[in-house]
Homo-oligomer: A and B are copies of this chain.
Amino acid sequence: LTEAQRIEAFLSQFERVDAPYGPGDDAALVKRAGSNGECITTDAVVEGVHFTRETFSLEDIGHKALAVNLSDLAAMGATPSWAVCALGLPASFEGRELKALGRGMAALARVHGVTLVGGNITASPALTVTMTVAGNLGPRPLLRSGARVGDEVLVSGPLGLASAGFEVLTAGAAGFERLVQAQRRPVPHLAWASVAAGFASAGLDVSDGLLQDLGHIAKASGVGIGVSSDGLALHIELLKWAGSLESARSHALSGGEDYVLAVTVPRRRLAAFDRALSRAGFSAFSIGRVTSGAQVLLDGRRAPARRGFQHASAS
């Protein structure tokens, strides 16, 4: 089963949600009197699936568990507020290990003003950190469904580093610190998103691979997307690790866990978006255009059937 089929099977048992954005977008929205609404997202990192204790420090794990959730809030253009954390711990887990896990999480929480309001600890055969994080929406939430034909497609940073970093760690190779850090310590693009929310017609965070994730925008918006591989920014460490332009491009197009944002912006707003990003010290990489049709095309051809990023467990 694909992830979408699994979600569909589970959700088929529940009443449909009336909320404007329930299950299906990056985060759920809960309406609030007197505000633009609150976003809720939940995500987990699991030992042996998303990390191993050999290749991640406990600080890394604490950081990443929160970061992947904050990226989902960034994908909605929301400002994070509170979090709860459910820990599944192996029996041998010690106090100093809990402190290290908390240290990595707390440091990132501090940066983004996230308050840990509660949690739970249970036994578990595999170290599991499941977080639920809430954020406040601005006046314009960033949804998957607003892309219109002709909009420009832009991403918030270079892609493919995290999946290359996963290979570096698996191979036990030395160096390639930028790739390894992208895998261990992803940076949620919250500030970039808060600028983009004022201009974009749609957006999400690239967690499963660019082409696969753009497919979600295409489907939700009822459009096609044409990606031009010439627009991709390929980090020099990625090129060095990959060994060939072709392999580096493959990481950038189908690698996962970068937590870079992809947005669509109406062309008449592009110049203003660019100015606003520059003022905030950010940049954007234009990688394509929203088209009629319903497919994601790469350089005018059907994107390879290869699925996006699969976690360690699937390999």
Contacts and interface: CB of A to CB of B under 8 A. Distances in A.
Given A43-B86, A110-B15, A118 B9 contact: no
A225 interface: no
Nearest to A27: B118
Given A3-B121, A34-B33, A42-B119, A84 B11 contact: no
Interface stretch (A88-96, A148-156, A177-185, A289-297): A88-96
Interface of A: 1, 3, 5-7, 9-15, 17, 19, 22-23, 27-30, 32-35, 40-46, 48-50, 81-82, 84-89, 91, 93-96, 98-99, 101-103, 105-106, 109-110, 115-126, 128, 130, 132, 134, 311, 313-314
B106 A13 contact: yes
A148 to B, nearest CB: 26
Contact of A50 (B6, B27, B122): B122
B46 A123 contact: yes
Contacts of A50: 122
B118 A13 contact: no
B102 A23 contact: no
Oligomer: number of copies: 2
Contacts of A19: 115, 117
Contacts of A7: 119, 121
Given A34-B34, A98-B9, A40 B118 contact: yes
B6 A95 contact: yes
A82 B30 contact: yes
A110 B16 CA distance: 12
B14 A84 contact: no
A28 B117 contact: yes
Given A48-B125, A116-B14, A125-B48, A42 B85 contact: yes
Nearest to A33: B34
Nearest to A101: B10
Give the residue among A3, A34, A42 with the most B Cβ atoms within 10 A: A42
B13 A103 contact: yes
Contacts of A48: 125
The 3 A-B pairs with the shortest beta carbon distances in the complex, nearest first, are A28-B118, A13-B102, A28-B117
Contact of A95 (B5, B81, B86, B106): B5
A95 B14 contact: no
A220 B40 CA distance: 30
A123 B314 contact: yes
B88 A44 contact: yes
Contact of A313 (B13, B91, B314): B91
Nearest to A124: B46
B313 A123 contact: yes
A46 B88 contact: yes
B12 A99 contact: yes
